[in-house]
Amino acid sequence: MFDITSTRFPLRMLTAAAALALSAGAAQAQKGETVKLAYIDALSGLMGPVGQNQVKTFQFLAEKFNKSNPAGVKFEIVTFDNKLSPAETLNLLKAATDQGIRYVMQGNGSSVALALSDAVSKYNERNPGKEVVYLNYSAVDPDLTNSKCSYWHFRFDADTSMKMEALTTFMKDQPDVKKVFLLNQNYAHGHQVAKYAKEMLARKRPDIQIVGEDLHPLAQVRDFAPYVAKIKASGADTVITGNWGSDLALLVKAANEAGYNGKFFTYYTGVTGTPTALGQGGAGRVYQVAYSHYNMGGETQKLANEFKAKFNDDMYTLSVDHIFLMLSQAMAAAKSTDPVKVAKTLEGLTVKSFNGDVTMRKADHQLQQALYISVWQKADAKYPYSPENTGMTLAPVKQFESYVSSTPTSCQMKRPG
């Protein structure tokens, strides 16, 4: 069903320009250089466990790429705890640039991402010759590549609208979905999930009723029982939520405890804490839309198994792989680690990845990639990987090629020079 057969580094696909650069010996142009990447995300608080997992993912994959990458560079991860605060993030951006770090990475919280993207753009205007590139691995507010797009921002996850396009395309063929409740975090991403769910369901399944909608504070709610009571009272047979981290784990825990038997269509079931909260419950009722799943097969599966053996943890943020893959190839093609030259080369770059051919769309710096719908079920011989040792897994039920989930952009990119 899935083409996950590509070998890792030697056979990754480059654009014609990048391939030409490599053949000219550009692969050795930066050989031995150390490229520092600032990781600026929450490492403490309710969302801390997610950040801690992702730091391990960055360090684990950096180690792999440091052994073999087209540019011959060495990646070093420097961590900063922003406590999920936009204001703290801007202080940490200054700390990173003061250390001479010119690549920053963030992904947890679109409110943080919007502030960071704007700050990076302003910093670059004021500091020619010291430009910084922002590599966004999981903040998915569509505004980041639409009305508030920046030349210096590149998103390696699929945005909220792309995921909802795939999710609603799947949902329209589910006849038992009739009454939907929208429950989301009260910030940019949560608002966008609700907005696009309503728009796309109205277009694809106008018979579906939205019987309730609610927003709750981000990373502050410890008891979701009152929200589950509202869901049950509404008569909803289905919940759509963009919740992540503790906000999804505690929601599904409360739903299990209250005996709610409806379906959940989610973005982040596979993320730290949620598999344990689901446990044996929710089999066949909880779905996830994402650019990967836990049973990808091939080399990706080997890496996931090695990660689990090393950390007793699950590797689910595979956009990190895209960052190292595309960054090293862009550096090789640009014959430089200079962010200005690398950013120019990243635009339009196509590579062969774990989820097929992926392209960094030049118009808005939004990665175009295949998306998967997976369902929570018992692990079995076909899909054996068990997150958080639950005995359960996310098994793929549908793959959407990039052209299906791709959404248009309104970005009016302002390019330097």
Share of the chain above pLDDT 70, in %: 93
- Strand-pair category, 356-360 with 350-353: antiparallel
Amino acid at 93: L
Q: Could you read off the pLDDT of 147-183 as tens digits, one per residue?
A: 999 999 999 999 999 999 999 999 999 999 999 999 9
pLDDT score, position 5: 30
Burial class (CB in 10 A: 0-12, 13-18, 19+), 204: middle
Rg (alpha carbons) of the chain, rounded to whole number: 21
Q: Domains of the chain, with CATH numbers?
A: 34-158+297-368 (3.40.50.2300), 161-290+371-405 (3.40.50.2300)
How is 352-364 classified by DSSP, letter by letter? EETTEEEEE-TTT
pLDDT score, position 330: 98
Decide if pLDDT at 42 tops 90.
yes
Report the C-alpha gap between 286 and 106 in whole angstroms.
Answer: 27
Decide if pLDDT at 10 tops 80.
no
Determine the 3-state secondary structure of 415 from DSSP: coil
Burial class (CB in 10 A: 0-12, 13-18, 19+), 13: middle
Strand partners, 360: 367
Strand partners, 34: 74
pLDDT score, position 3: 32
Which region, left, alpha or beta, applies to residue 365 given φ > 0 means left and ψ of -120 to 50 means alpha?
A: left
Residue 70 CA to its chain's centroid (Å): 24
pLDDT score, position 20: 43
pLDDT score, position 281: 84
Tokens of 290: 């994402």
Tokens of 118: 């704007």
Q: 374-386: b or e for each residue (b if 16 or more CB lie within 10 Å)?
A: bbbbebeeebebb
Determine the 3-state secondary structure of 132 from DSSP: coil
Q: Could you read off the pLDDT of 391-413 as tens digits, one per residue?
A: 999 999 999 999 998 999 999 99
Which pTM value belongs to this model?
Answer: 0.92
Amino acid at 323: I
Rounded to an integer, the average pLDDT of 278-301 is: 95
Decide if pLDDT at 8 tops 80.
no
End-to-end CA gap in the chain? 46
Kindly state the helix (H) or strand (E) to which residue 17 belongs, with its residue range. Answer: helix 16-23
Rounded to an integer, the average pLDDT of 239-262 is: 95
Q: Could you read off the pLDDT of 336-362 as tens digits, one per residue?
A: 999 999 999 999 999 999 999 999 999
Tokens of 38: 């600032």
pLDDT band of residue 110 (cuts 50, 70, 90) is: very high
Strand partners, 75: 35
Determine the 3-state secondary structure of 385 from DSSP: coil
pLDDT score, position 31: 82
Decide if pLDDT at 226 tops 50.
yes
Report the C-alpha gap between 399 and 2 in whole angstroms.
Answer: 8
CB 353 within 8 A of CB 321: yes
The residue behind tokens 């950040």 is 51
Decide if pLDDT at 119 tops 60.
yes
Report the C-alpha gap between 37 and 267 in whole angstroms.
Answer: 26
- Measured at the CA of 348, the angle between CA 346 and CA 352, to 5 degrees, comes to 85
Q: What is the mean pLDDT of the chain?
A: 93
Q: Could you read off the pLDDT of 16-29 as tens digits, one per residue?
A: 444 444 444 434 55
pLDDT band of residue 11 (cuts 50, 70, 90) is: very low
pLDDT score, position 29: 57
How far CA 131 is from CA of 124, 135, 151, in Å, comes to: 5, 13, 11
